[in-house]
Amino acid sequence: MSENTTAASLAAAVRGGDRSAVEVVEECLAAIDAGDRALHAFLTVTAEAARAAAAEIDQRVAAGDDPGPLAGVPVALKDNMCTRGVATTCGSRILEGWCPPYDATVVERLAAAGAIVVGKTNLDEFAMGSSTENSAFGPSRNPRDTSRVPGGSSGGSAAAVAAGFVPLALGSDTGGSIRQPAALCGVVGMKPTYGRVSRSGLVAFASSLDQIGPLTATVADAALLFEVIAGHDPLDSTSIPEPVPEVGAHLDDGVEGLRVGLVTELLGEGIAPDVAVRTRAAADALEEAGAKVEEVAVPAAVYGLSAYYLIAPAEASSNLARFDGVRYGLRVDAPTTQEMMVATRTKGFGPEVKRRIMLGTYALSAGYYDAYYGKAQRVRTLIADDFAAAYERVDVLLAPTSPTTAFPLGDKTADPMAMYMNDVCTIPSSLSGDPAVSVPFGTGDDGLPVGVQVMAPALAEIDLFRAAAALEASAPR
């Protein structure tokens, strides 16, 4: 597909009868077939189901029906979202070949809007990673430079959009897993307010942090996809009951008078100079567009990485206990139940997942709970309080999305701490539960994309998208 073909224009063409959904889907499948051997963005391509869904859309259009705001638009799903009858692996051997008996709520909402799922994308195993190198089925590659990682854990979804295979994809963001790959691949990636989008049918990593969101080529498409998937869901106990704002209607409002804070703690040590330069240029661009820009401190943000890598593994160790060889997924037979569980989990989980399960189990164990997990939760509260204080002064915050541009495959796999540092800019707003979006803003010294991150208070997606649209409009071409 053409990289310049937006979801909004495709849907309008299909709804108006100017293009057929079948034609659009065939174009998408041809692009995947031609280009994905080099990238490995997809784990499963659901070609026949997509063709059948497209034919049904065309029949509805011919009958005078309106199939919805995403009529005939191909979309890719990160392979940790349940799809009825389609393998949902989470990038793990322990779920290889498992086909859920139901669809995630976001999958149902995509279908109701007329979108057509064309496949499931690669990811770091159980969404644990920043490079998509932890997938049990092999790494994905960055379309901008195939010797580089696409980021993670939603690297397959980001790569699929960046390569022009699909105009829309969904990822999940626990500590930056939508925003960081969006930055590295040069696309738009948005994490909604925690609870804005249902987690029903999302295979859990860390339940107090996980959030599904869009990866797209444009801010307008991200706004459109957000409006489709967001909204209250009684199947998710953390789902927010407030109605979803029409963020797309405010994209052209501009940023005149908008108060923007440049986060000082996220522009210092550890941030590559070329990334810092692009971030400050983004702040200047917003100021030229009429925003009021100042530097703002969020002091506790520097503790985000430490708190996250206690809280998220602790929740993961609990959530992943369900993969025991008894109910579904891989089963390695052994003489006793205990030995079977050990053998199954030993063979089924990869090194990074095992590392985080052990770390999380330790943090939750008797005698260490208060010293580690309890303290990390108190730090999380400090971070949320510091963000709240910053938002009393400004409407949105600005920071780099990733500390560097895309790094070479294999560059950080031997050093977990170096890999974890990739999330230093994205984790704080995950811990606070606030929305954030990464927007491409030029390139670094190596010619690879740099993403700039806009953050906003909880439920302030209108201001978030306003600022994102202004950044996109002023980004270097």
> Model confidence over 385-444: pLDDT tens digits?
999 999 999 999 999 999 999 999 999 999 999 999 999 999 999 999 999 999 999 999
Measured distance CA(438)–CA(453) in Å, rounded? 4
Mean pLDDT of 333-340: 96
165 within domain boundaries: yes
Measured distance CA(98)–CA(157) in Å, rounded? 20
Query: Which two tokens mark 308?
Result: 């996250």
173 within domain boundaries: yes
359 within domain boundaries: no
Query: Which two tokens mark 294?
Result: 């100042």
Helix ranges (H only) for 320-368 are 337-348, 351-364
For the chain, what is the mean pLDDT?
97
Angle at CA of residue 67, ends 66 and 70, nearest 5°:
115
428 within domain boundaries: no
228 within domain boundaries: yes
Q: Is 120 one of the catalytic residues?
A: no
CB 168 within 8 Å of CB 76: yes
Orientation angle between helical segments 219-229 and 105-112, nearest 10 degrees: 110
Place of tokens 């810092």: 276
More confident position, 328 or 159 = 159
Mean pLDDT of 17-39: 98
Place of tokens 């800019």: 425
Mean pLDDT of 323-345: 95
For residue range 241-291, what is the model confidence (pLDDT) as tens digits? 999 999 999 999 999 999 999 999 999 999 999 999 999 999 999 999 999
Q: Is 130 one of the catalytic residues?
A: no
The DSSP annotation for 374-392 comes to IHHHHHHHHHHHHHHHHHH
- The radius of gyration of the chain from alpha carbons, rounded to an integer in Å, stands at 21
Instruction: Spell 245-264 as b/e; 16+ CB within 10 A means b.
Output: bebbebbeebbeebbbbbbe
Domain CATH for 36: 3.90.1300.10
- 156 falls in which pLDDT band (50, 70, 90)? very high
261 within domain boundaries: no
CA-based nearest residue to 347, from 65, 69, 94: 94
User: From the CB of residue 385, how many other CB atoms can be counted at a distance below 10 Å?
Assistant: 13
410 within domain boundaries: no
Candidate list 177, 239, 430, 432, residue with the active-site label:
177
Indicate whether 3 pLDDT > 90: no
Query: Which two tokens mark 433?
Result: 């539960």
In the chain, the amino acid numbered 420 is Y
CB 430 within 8 Å of CB 213: no
Candidate list 92, 140, 153, 402, residue with the active-site label:
153
For residue range 31-53, what is the model confidence (pLDDT) as tens digits? 999 999 999 999 999 999 999 99
Mean pLDDT of 212-232: 98
Mean pLDDT of 106-115: 98
Torsion of CA 226, 228, 233, 239, to 10 degrees: 10
CB 207 within 8 Å of CB 199: yes
CB 133 within 8 Å of CB 124: yes
The whole-number pLDDT of residue 4 equals: 54
Mean pLDDT of 87-94: 98
- DSSP 3-state assignment of 298? coil
Domain that holds residue 117: 7-250
The whole-number pLDDT of residue 425 equals: 98
For residue range 129-139, what is the model confidence (pLDDT) as tens digits? 999 999 999 99
- DSSP 3-state assignment of 202? strand
Beta bridge partners of residue 142, listed in sequence order: 145
What region does 127 belong to: left with phi over 0, alpha with psi -120 to 50, or beta? left
Measured distance CA(477)–CA(473) in Å, rounded? 10
Domain count, the chain: 1
- DSSP 3-state assignment of 346? helix
Mean pLDDT of 183-207: 98
The whole-number pLDDT of residue 1 equals: 62
- 2 falls in which pLDDT band (50, 70, 90)? low
Q: Is 140 one of the catalytic residues?
A: no
- 221, 223, 243, 414 from 70: Cα distances, Å: 10, 12, 20, 42
Measured distance CA(326)–CA(11) in Å, rounded? 44
Q: Would the CA dihedral through 244, 436, 438, 237 be positive or negative?
A: negative
The whole-number pLDDT of residue 247 equals: 98
52 within domain boundaries: yes
